[in-house]
Amino acid sequence: MNNDNGSVGLVQTKTLTFAHPPDELILESGARLGPITLAYETYGKLDSQRSNAILLVHALTGDAHVAGYHTHADRKPGWWDWMVGSGRPFDTDRYFVVCSNVIGGCQGSTGPRSINPATGERYNLDFPMVTIGDMVAAQRYLVDELGIDRLLCVAGGSMGGMQALEWAIRYPERVASVIPIATTSRLSAQGIAFNQVGRRAITADNKWNGGNYGVKPDELPAEGLAVARMLAHITYLSEEAMHAKFGRRLREKERYGFDFSIDFEVESYLQHQGESFIRRFDADSYLYISKAMDYFDLPRQYGSLQNAFAGVQAGFLLLSFSSDWLFPTVHSKEIVRALMVNRKDVTFCEIPSPYGHDAFLIENEAMKRIVPAFLNRMASSGRH
């Protein structure tokens, strides 16, 4: 653990369980889910008016641990640590910051590998399909439990940006502002295709066993999950970033091996990404959450993107990155245009970056300036 200036320090993951039968959460598919447990973390303090709460929502393989450390032995902090803390963009001296793991996840929230109370066994593929809307509906229970009537902001990147958009549309009176980053109003055919290949890698693993695999390391569909991660990780980077970081450099050798062992640094890097991922994520959860991203389609759901945003009340800050080819800037501009047609409060910035889709996770000065300025405007505008 590093004693970073401004760090929130040691934090603890908490859980909330709700939607007990017969009051289960009714999902968009029509299925019922309950009881539901959400894992979450909080940072900072809620003010006396309960008006300074910010909900951070994570991307596909994220979790509730957005900042700080769980133990003194932790080597790395939470996934957005540089954004959350004293004096940081989501300033915990000013704001009460909340982050929860989505339903369908595997980091403490109810998901396919949770125990089904009706059977006493793991849900596995008996777990119902969930959507981005279902994830947000579950988060609303948490916000209610914390006594927050109106969020100052909902912010997140990638799938987190989808959730932020959903919050603004589904609960317009509950959200003063949203910051969707490197996101889209609907996944492209290319994005769906990449997700399908990743899922196919998992289901083709002999150990997947129809989703009914064991819990021991040698019982997991690790190879399939690792390949899915390797493929996805390529989409998170840009060609420029990969060239700068790896080029065609060989891995600990001076000439080609003329076999199928690892020759190139980039091969070694991707293998490491796959191997480290299987230690922290679940294969069935990957199937469910990636499918939820595929189903997200605001224009289809509301008839048009303009219709989708007709009733929103929040102020919007949309950020994109110049080298993001997975959710390119044109996707953010489509959202901006729909908001402008509806005469909504919207600010947009494309941030120059060589790091591709993952740029929102990498510390950058532009976000460190833009985000707090926007939050300050929202907090002082009386919206909350």
Same domain for 146 and 27:
yes
Q: Are residues 56 and 173 in the same domain?
A: yes
Structure tokens at 4: 């970073």
Q: Is residue 4 part of a domain?
A: no
Q: Do 145 and 169 belong together in one domain?
A: yes
- Reply yes or no on whether 158 is catalytic: yes
Is 316:177 a contact under the CB 8 Å cutoff? yes
- Same domain for 282 and 302, yes or no, is no
Same domain, 313 and 326: yes
Q: What are phi and psi of 33, to 5 degrees?
A: -130, 125
Are the C-beta atoms of residues 140 and 278 closer than 8 Å to each other?
no
Residues whose CB falls within 8 Å of the CB of residue 222, separated by 6 or more in sequence, listed in order: 205, 207, 278
The DSSP output letter for 27 is P
Among 289, 210, 280, 302, which residue's Cα sits nearest to residue 70? 280
How many domains, in total, are found in the chain? 2
Same domain, yes or no, for 256 and 345?
no
Q: Is the overall model pTM greater than 0.95, yes or no?
A: yes
347 within a domain of the structure (yes/no)? yes
Whether residues 48 and 167 share a domain: the answer is: yes
Residues in Cβ contact with 249 at an 8 Å cutoff, skipping those fewer than 6 apart? 264, 265
DSSP 178-194: EEEES--SB--HHHHHH
Tell the residue number behind the tokens 């390529």, with chain if given.
234
Write down the catalytic residue from 58, 331, 357, 384. Answer: 357
**Can you tell me the distance from the alpha carbon of 175 to that of 168, in angstroms, rounded to the nearest whole number?**
6
Q: Are residues 198 and 321 in the same domain?
A: no
Pairwise CA distance, residues 169 & 377, whole Å: 21
Of residues 324, 331, 332, 353, which has the active-site annotation?
324
For 61, the domain range is: 14-187+296-380
Do 62 and 132 lie in one domain? The reply is yes
Own/partner pairs for 77-81, CB < 8 Å, 24+ apart?
Answer: 77/1, 77/2, 77/4, 77/7, 78/11, 78/41, 79/361, 80/56, 80/361, 81/4, 81/7
Residue 334 lies in a domain: yes
Summarize the chain as % helix, strand, coil (round to 5): 40, 15, 45
337: helix, coil or strand? Answer: helix
Q: Which two tokens stand for residue 282?
A: 């679940």
Would residue 258 count as lying in a domain?
A: yes
d(CA 236, CA 269): 14
Examine the domain organization and report whether 55 and 123 are in the same domain.
yes
Active site residue 357: yes
Residues 85 and 164 both lie in one domain:
yes
Give residue 186's pLDDT. 98
What CATH number has the domain bearing residue 244? 1.10.1740.110
Q: How far is CA 367 from CA 7, 155, 176, 359, in A?
A: 18, 12, 20, 10
Q: Which of 289, 321, 341 is the last residue of a domain?
A: 289
From first to last of the 384 residues of the chain, give the pLDDT tens digit: 655 689 999 999 999 999 999 999 999 999 999 999 999 999 999 999 999 999 999 999 999 999 999 999 999 999 999 999 999 999 999 999 999 999 999 999 999 999 999 999 999 999 999 999 999 999 999 999 999 999 999 999 999 999 999 999 999 999 999 999 999 999 999 999 999 999 999 999 999 999 999 999 999 999 999 999 999 999 999 999 999 999 999 999 999 999 999 999 999 999 999 999 999 999 999 999 999 999 999 999 999 999 999 999 999 999 999 999 999 999 999 999 999 999 999 999 999 999 999 999 999 999 999 999 999 999 998 665
Query: 285 catalytic, yes or no?
Result: no
Site of tokens 């993952």: 358
Which is catalytic among the residues 158, 177, 238, 320?
A: 158
Residue after which a domain boundary falls, among 289, 324, 339: 289
Task: Say if 5 falls within a structural domain.
Answer: no
- Of 243, 274, 289, the residue that ends a domain is 289
Q: Is residue 61 part of a domain?
A: yes
Is the residue at 9 inside a domain? no
The domain that contains 19 carries what CATH number? 3.40.50.1820
Decide if 154 is inside a domain.
yes
Residue 2 dihedral angles phi and psi, to the nearest 5°: -95, 145
What's the start-to-end Cα distance of the chain, in Å?
A: 36
State whether 68 and 143 are in the same domain. Answer: yes
Burial of 264: CB neighbours in 10 Å, binned 0-12, 13-18, 19+: middle
**Do 36 and 110 touch, CB atoms closer than 8 A?**
yes
